[in-house]
Structures are given as structure tokens and as C-alpha cells.
Amino acid sequence: MLPEIKGLNEECGIFGVWGHVDAAQLTYYGLHSLQHRGQEGTGIVVSDGKQLKGVKGEGLVAEIFTTEVMKELTGTSAIGHVRYATAGGGGYENVQPLLFHSQTSSLALAHNGNLVNVNSLKHQLEAQGSIFQTSSDTEVLAHLMKRSGYSDSKDRAKNALSMLKGAYAYLIMTETELMVALDPHGLRPLSLGCLGDAYVVASETCAFDVVGAEYIRDIRPGELLIINDQGIVSEQFAVSSTKAICTMEYIYFSRPDSNIQGINVHTARKNLGKRMAVEAPFEADVVTGVPDSSISAAIGYAEATGIPYEMGLIKNRYVGRTFIQPSQSLREQGVKMKLSPVRGVVEGKRVVMVDDSIVRGTTSRRIVKMLKEAGATEVHVVITSPPIKNPCFYGIDTSTKEELIAYDKSIEEMRVLIGADTLTFISVEGMIEAIGRKDGEGTSGYCLGCFTGNYPTEIYPDTLQYYYQK
């Protein structure tokens, strides 16, 4: 069953090391820097060349991997995962990496993304005798590999990966090799680096900086990398059809110090803000960004308009993320605890409030209200993504269609609901131009599914049924 969807949430983060004496420790630091991608569960599996050993738990990286736990994780290779529950929901059994033992070898899997044909694959596999340990979509790859009939692990992986549809960045580790795979559209970011003679792989390049690794390149769509003690080999398991990196990685999910396919995330966000200075120029006294993900864009807007950037909103860093709260009322309380307006900055001022997206509208309404209660005379809301009108099937929880405020409301209706004086969303063209990747023409190269309803992959009926019949 697919998960209950709450709001705009990150998916997961993965990190892997091959050939380093401190593999587990490096993975700990790498996962720590990817913690923004998932806070519900985390795990590390290490290989000492003879066996795989794993530790996982529900909680943050620093909570699960105590000094005592880390002492047990000895080996020269490791993969790790931070999880936000997407397909399959939460629970300890779904925390990754998943670890499988058979009489001949072991296999560990870490996955970022969401498969859109998982139900049909599970039906087929169950009909052939498979029994699943988890309700997560990740596990199907292990069953497909085991049943593929090929003797060589690379061929097993290639054969199994070619059956998957949707978004997937996979780390697959056995005692003797680490395989790295990215779906044929390259929906999720995944990069390769090195640290001396060791190879490092991460969802975001910020993890390389933390461990002192050097960035080599991004994994190509449809590519399978095989890393072992003999070196590294690259093969294509699928032809890259249409490249379609998730646009929201640039706008919201990734850390500003990460680079995705050659574009620094902070710079992309700043350019989105600059673009909004052209698409939504207002006469105002201050520009403020909703912390943290919209600060770069607010700085860009301020730079381009000449209106001073100010810290009009302060984030309380010691409050858990609002979307973790289970009910609507608790979630709203969470927003209040998390953000505070700075009265001295906004009182008596016309404020441009820059934010990255509007999902349900609840958070925007609360922030506008806070700014007005703190004395702002006008609040102009500037959003650096186009309206999110459609659900995401690729591992981002954007809500069911009916829960999305933009699904059936005009911009004017949304403005009234959130209580702003004006509300402007960036255009799709403006967004693409501002992010500025050079490898696509126009909108090609990006996934725009949640904005336009045009998804890069086929969406299977059982997946659609879940999202539209809730």
C-alpha cells in the first residue's frame, strides 16, 4: 500500500563508500549531512570483504549511531540511508539499508525514489513464490535479482533494474562489490566522488565536502557503476530516454551547498529570486525569505530590486519539522513554534515574503498572519515554484490531488485563502531559465510533473488509483 500523504516532504538520502578503513565513520558523517532528506529512520551496512553487518533504527543519525554502535561497524566499505517514509510507509522493517542473506552471499540495498510499477511487480513475484519482509518498494529489486537466473551479479542487477519503472537511485552492496544505479530519467540526484583511493557516492555533493571527498561526476541516467577492489566499471542498463531531474531538488529539497548536475543549489535559488524580481516587481520596504530554503531566493529578489533583504522571520532550530506531526492541529501548532516574525523588521513595513512553494496553503496562511500581526502593512507573497497542481509519484510527498490548494483554485482564490495582499508564482519558463542547466532545450531535462501534469514515465493504474481515489 502506498503511504498516507501529509505535505511537501523530502524523500531519502543515500551514501556509500568503497575501499576505506573508516567506511562506517565516513558514512555516518555523510548521512549526517543528508539528514534534511529524511529524519524518520537511518541505517548503515558495512562489509569487511567476508560478511555484511548492519545497524538501523527509527530516529536521527546522531541518535541511532552512538559511539558504542559505531564500534561494531568495522569494515572497509559501507552504504547508508536516511529515510522519510514514502512508499510502504514507516516502521522499523522499512528502515534501510535492507539486508538479505542467502546461502551463497548477502546483499544490502539503499534506495532513494519511488517505483511506479511496484504493485504489479510484487504481484508477479508473489505468484512465483516470493515473500516480502517489508512493505517498501525497495525490496522488489532484491527479489528480481535473485530470480533473474544470471550467474554474474552485474548481469543480475542489469536485468532486474531494467524491469523497474519510476524514480530510483540505488546502492547495492555485496561482500565484494558496490553497485550504483540511477533510473533512465535520472529523476533523483546521485554523484560519485573519491577520497584517496576510495570511492564515495552520495545523493548530494554536500556530503562529499563533509568527508573531504573530491567530486568526480554525476551518475548518468540508466547507468550502473560496479565498484570493487579491481576498480570501477560503468555500464548502461537502460538507454537514457528523456532526462528529467526533479525540479524541486533545486527549489526546495537539496542543501544550498550542493551542486546538482553542475548547478549550485544556492545560485539556482538566487536566480529564481532574481527572476521573480522581473515577474513580480513590487514597491516594498523589505524582502524576507521563509527560512531556510527560501533565503537564497529572497537575497536574489532583494539584489535585483534594490529593496533591502531583512531577517523578517526567525526559525527556532530546536523544534521538529512540522510535517512530522501526525495531525492537522498539531501540525499548525508546529508552524507557530517553528517560525517567529521579527517585529522590529516588519512593523509598519510593506513586506515581500519569498517562499519556495505552496502545497496545502496552511503554512503560508499562518506566516502571512504572523507578519501582519507583527505590524506588516502589506504582505506580497512571491513563490519560486509554479503552482503544484498534481501529485508526485516519484518519492516526494506532495499530497493527494484534492489536498493541493492549487489543484482546483485560481491564484486569486489562493491569495484570499492565505490572506496575502498579492500572490505571484514563477512561470515554468522563468523557473527553467533561472535554474539554468545547459544540457536541455527549453523544459527538457527537468521533471515538471507536479506543475504541468506531464510525467516523464508511464504511471501505472494501481498507483493512480491510490492517489485519485483517496
- In the bound state with ligand SF4, the residue whose beta carbon lies nearer, of 284 and 404, is 404
Q: Minimal distance in Å, beta carbon 219 to ligand SF4? A: 17
Q: Minimal distance in Å, beta carbon 86 to ligand SF4? A: 11
- In the bound state with ligand SF4, the residue whose beta carbon lies nearer, of 39 and 398, is 398
Q: Minimal distance in Å, beta carbon 370 to ligand SF4? A: 27
Residues near ligand SF4 (CB under 6 A): 187, 246-248, 392, 394, 396, 398, 447-450
Is 12 annotated as catalytic?
A: yes
Residue 412 makes CB contacts below 8 A (sequence gap 6+) with none
Q: Minimal distance in Å, beta carbon 83 to ligand SF4? A: 17
Q: Minimal distance in Å, beta carbon 158 to ligand SF4? A: 24
Q: Minimal distance in Å, beta carbon 359 to ligand SF4? A: 11
Q: Minimal distance in Å, beta carbon 251 to ligand SF4? A: 9
- In the bound state with ligand SF4, the residue whose beta carbon lies nearer, of 247 and 288, is 247
Distance CA 90, CA 81 (A): 14
Catalytic residue among 12, 246, 392, 450: 12
- In the bound state with ligand SF4, the residue whose beta carbon lies nearer, of 82 and 246, is 246
Per-residue H/E/C for the chain:
CCCCCCCCECCEEEEEEECCCCHHHHHHHHHHHCHHHCCCEEEEEEECCCCEEEEEEECCHHHHCCHHHHHHCCCCEEEEEEECCCCCCCCHHHCCCEEEECCCCEEEEEEEEEECCHHHHHHHHHHCCCCCCCCCHHHHHHHHHHHCCCCCHHHHHHHHHCCCCEEEEEEEECCCCEEEEECCCCCCCCEEEEECCEEEEECCCHHHHHHCCEEEEECCCCEEEEEECCEEEEEECCCCCCCEEEHHHHHHHCCCCCEECCEEHHHHHHHHHHHHHHHCCCCCCEEEECCCCCHHHHHHHHHHHCCCECCCEEECCCCCCHHHCCCHHHHHHHHHHHEEECHHHHCCCEEEEEECCCCCCHHHHHHHHHHHHCCCCEEEEEECCCCCCCCCCCCCECCCHHHCCCCCCCHHHHHHHHCCCEEEECCHHHHHHHHCCCCCCCCCEEECHHHHCCCCCCCCHHHHHHHHCC
Cis peptide before 341 (omega within 30 of 0): no
The answer to whether residues 309 and 287 touch, using CB atoms and an 8 Å cutoff, is: yes
Name the residues annotated as catalytic. 12
